[in-house]
Amino acid sequence: MGEKLPFEDEEFSSVIIDNVLDHTREPKKVLKEMHRVLKENGLMFFTVNIRTKWGAFLHSILAKLNIDKGHSYSYSYGNIRHILEDSKFIILSEEYEDYHKTKRAYLEKKEIKNIIKAYVGVVEILYIAACCKK
């Protein structure tokens, strides 16, 4: 449970949060805790799967209907940046996979679940960011 970590304030010089945020109950609280336990100018390595705006919207509906129970939240590029910045992190560096290349890879797997995801637009794109505490 990342919403309440058993560590002192400013205990760590770096934290890693690898594909966690979209699986949590309260993602903003998780980021608040990451910020709290980081020392001044501490670094956070962050990854999460994002989608296009349409894909994030559609996936959020699927999550609410418990069709994808493992992912409580869906993010697009714009809203994950907003959440990180709103949580008082400065994005130092970021990259993300190419949507069209990832969609082709989904189709090439020839698995029905991935083909459906590709055609309805809920392809997962890996987003990676290095951030520091403001």
Which structural domain range is residue 21 located in?
Answer: 12-97+126-133
Give me the number of domains the chain comprises.
1
pLDDT in the model for residue 105: 96
In a domain, 118, yes or no: no
Q: Is residue 64 part of a domain?
A: yes
Q: 92 lies in a domain?
A: yes
Does residue 25 fall inside a structural domain? yes
> Across the chain, how many H-helices and E-strands are there?
5, 4
Q: What is the pLDDT of residues 90-108, one digit of tens each?
A: 999 999 999 999 999 999 9
Give the DSSP letter of residue 14.
E
DSSP one-letter code for 13: E
Checking if the pLDDT of 127 tops 90, the result is yes
- Domain assignment of residue 108, yes or no: no
Token representation of residue 86 = 């709103």
Mean pLDDT along residues 12-40 = 95
Q: Quick check: 62 pLDDT over 90?
A: no
Helix (H, G, I), strand (E, B) or coil at 33: helix
